[in-house]
Amino acid sequence: MIHLLCKTARFFPMKAHETIEQIDFHALRAAGIKLLLVDLDNTLADYETLVPSSEQCAFFSALKAQGFATIIVSNNRESRVRDYCSKLGQPYVARAKKPLLSGFRKALRLYDAPVRADEVCMIGDQLLTDVLGASRMGFASVLVEPLRKKTERWYTRLNRSIERSLLKRMKRYDAERYSALGMSRRLS
């Protein structure tokens, strides 16, 4: 796994936004994206939110109306993800172990049609899990700001400290791309 950290380019998402609602889904559709893999914790909801809001339910209905299939892919435990996704009406993969590939492969099996890697986009809040895992699979990725860092678990806080070092390295590696994506806001 350490060798993956040496490949800085793998950590650059295709796009970066403050929230999932700010993503231009029409542009993703125009780019040929059919399947959206979406992280749950701190992307859709903070760790303490157990029930999706009516706005989130409408949001996923709108994505479906635009022709997207969506699957929630989370590293969290089965009960947390199942309870949230059943109320949201979304298929899911719990304990995905991102950035390992097994959870992503399981999500692809849940999708009921053949799909190429360039037709899949992962949306999440972590470079070390969501973006790196998507990159390893050949998927596009969109990075969003975490909704509420104060509720994060110890292992996510550890990832965030590694992420801060990685962000500095990314800036040295490709300052123009780093700046265009607005990555500096992640260091604050």
Residues 6-47 have pLDDT tens digits of: 577 888 899 999 999 999 999 999 999 999 999 998 899 887
* 8-182 belongs to CATH 3.40.50.720: no
Q: Widest CA span of the chain, in angstroms?
A: 43
Band of pLDDT at residue 173, cut at 50, 70 and 90: confident
Q: Which of 34-38, 51-55, 131-135 has the lowest average pLDDT?
A: 51-55
Query: How deeply is 77 buried, as exposed, middle or buried, from its count of CB atoms within 10 A (0-12, 13-18, 19+)?
Result: exposed
Which is nearest to 93 in space by CA: 71, 115, 113? 71
> Quick check: 140 and 120 in contact, CB under 8 A?
yes
CB-side neighbour CA atoms (13 Å) of 96:
31
Tokens of 106: 């399981």
